[in-house]
Amino acid sequence: MNPVILYSVGVLALIAAGSAIILYFVAKKFKVDEDPRIGEVTEILPGANCGGCGFPGCSGFATALVKGADKGDISGLACPPGGNETMTAVGEFLGLTVEESAPTTAVVRCNGTKAKAPSKLTYEGPTKCAIAHTLFSGENSCPHGCLGLGDCVDACDFEAIYMDEETGLPVVIPDKCTSCGACVRACPRDIIEIRPRGRKDRRVWVACMNEEKGPIPMKNCKVTCIGCAKCFDVCPPVANAITMGNNLAFIDGDKCIACGKCIVVCPTTAILATFEPPKPKPKPVTEEKEASEVKK
């Protein structure tokens, strides 16, 4: 046999053996211990990488979960898109019990529709709320209202939010919403809030973020919260869910029992709900009032 071939094979074999030895020691020396559980927990998670948990992607969250499990506590960590099901599965795998958290959804806290808060000017700039917000108070002049340019729609990875052409406001589809909070971060006016979905999907919220005194916002919008505190007065003491601050009512979604009393008393219909509010007891006075309002 040609000695050149023999030499070549021999040299290559030596290099291979030498490299193998180096690699063996390097692998020993620089071994990274990755908990095999991290990979398995990642498998359980939905894999949407939405960041709703507050960690960079699902594997980041899995790492946090496994770390937490080592300390024996993963309370406070939750996967919004996966919900209780996923968290229970993760808990079972890690041998921990997970408290069930109430399902949540995003709600839009502005009801300044095109009809209720008519446009006073036309905006022709870029269709991006973040840009419009820095330029002016909005087409309807409300500095706290929805700009209607759809940054929240662009931010949603789950197609759970869309723009209603007629009202000019975003609409959340609760069944698709995973409460990941991307829309909340995208909105430059903090109009979108993550709230508990409520029992039997009954939830009530104040659809206004305006903090000015009553008459000022009323010039721009007919359905603004004027901070009259009527809702605060009728909220049953068992719930005591309403707080007043900055000329604005806020309903605590965890405390609210969805009785619907506040919806009826609100003079500007600024309180929205997912159900029909109880009809007020027929009183001649209110009927007259309603009649006169209809005439207007």
Partner 1 sequence: MKLKTFKLGGVHPPENKKTADIPVVPVDIPKRVSVIMSQHLGVPAVPVVEKGDKVKVGTLIGEAKGFISANIHSPVSGTVFKVDGVTDATGYRKDAVIINVEGDDWEEKIDKSETLLKEIKLSPEEIIQRIKDSGIVGMGGAAFPTHVKYMFPEGKTADTLVINGVECEPYLTSDHRVMLEKPDEILVGVSIMMKAGKVDRAKIGIETNKPDAINVLSEKAKDYPGIEVVPLKVQYPQGAEKQLIKALLNREIPSGKLPLDVGCIVNNIGTAFAIYEAVQKNKPLIERVVTLTGKGLKKGGNFLVRIGIPAKNLLEKLGEEIPENTGKMISGGPMMGKAINHLDIPVTKGTSGIVLMSEEESKRNIIQNCIRCSKCVSVCPMGLEPYLLEKLAEKDMFEECEKEAIVDCIECGSCSYTCPSSRQLLDHIRYGKQNVMRIMRERRQQ
Among positions 48, 96, 184, 216, the unique one binding partner 1 when judged by CB under 8 A: 216
Total interface residues for partner 1 by CB under 8 A:
17
Nearest distance, CB of residue 142 and partner 1, angstroms: 9
Nearest distance, CB of residue 247 and partner 1, angstroms: 12
Nearest distance, CB of residue 59 and partner 1, angstroms: 23
Task: Give 120 or 289: the residue with its C-beta nearer to partner 1.
Answer: 120
Task: Give 37 or 114: the residue with its C-beta nearer to partner 1.
Answer: 114
Task: Give 49 or 137: the residue with its C-beta nearer to partner 1.
Answer: 137
Give the residue carrying structure tokens 């209720």: 116
Nearest distance, CB of residue 42 and partner 1, angstroms: 27
- Residue 252, number of CB atoms within 10 A of its CB: 14
Nearest distance, CB of residue 136 and partner 1, angstroms: 5
201 within 8 A of 222, measured Cβ to Cβ:
no
Task: Give 47 or 125: the residue with its C-beta nearer to partner 1.
Answer: 125
Residue ranges in 11-70 that form contacts with partner 1 under rule CB under 8 A: none
241 within 8 A of 252, measured Cβ to Cβ:
yes
- The Cα 116–Cα 112 span in angstroms is 6
185 binds partner 1 (CB under 8 A): no
65 within 8 A of 90, measured Cβ to Cβ:
yes
Task: Give 83 or 143: the residue with its C-beta nearer to partner 1.
Answer: 143
Contacts of 142 by beta carbon, 8 Å cutoff, 6+ apart: 112, 117, 210, 217, 220, 221, 224
* Radius of gyration of the chain, Cα coordinates, nearest whole angstrom: 28
Instruction: Please choose, from the candidates 244, 275, 147, 31, the residue with its C-alpha nearest in 3D space to the C-alpha of residue 252.
Output: 244
Among positions 52, 212, 227, 247, the unique one binding partner 1 when judged by CB under 8 A: 212
CA-based diameter of the chain, in Å? 116
- The Cα 284–Cα 55 span in angstroms is 57
Task: Give 102 or 135: the residue with its C-beta nearer to partner 1.
Answer: 135
Angle (CA) 104 116 257, round 5°: 30
Residue ranges in 161-180 that form contacts with partner 1 under rule CB under 8 A: none
Nearest distance, CB of residue 246 and partner 1, angstroms: 13
Q: Which two tokens stand for residue 234?
A: 């009728």
Q: Which two tokens stand for residue 64?
A: 């946090």
What are the beta bridge partners of residue 172?
161
Query: 3-class DSSP state for residue 214?
Result: coil
Nearest distance, CB of residue 121 and partner 1, angstroms: 5
- Binding mask of the shown chain, residues 110 to 149, with x at each position contacting partner 1 by CB under 8 A: ----------xx--xxx-x-xx--xxxxx--x-x------
Nearest distance, CB of residue 63 and partner 1, angstroms: 24
Task: Give 138 or 168: the residue with its C-beta nearer to partner 1.
Answer: 138
- Residue 38, number of CB atoms within 10 A of its CB: 18
Chain residues binding partner 1 by CB under 8 A are 120-121, 124-126, 128, 130-131, 134-138, 141, 143, 212, 216
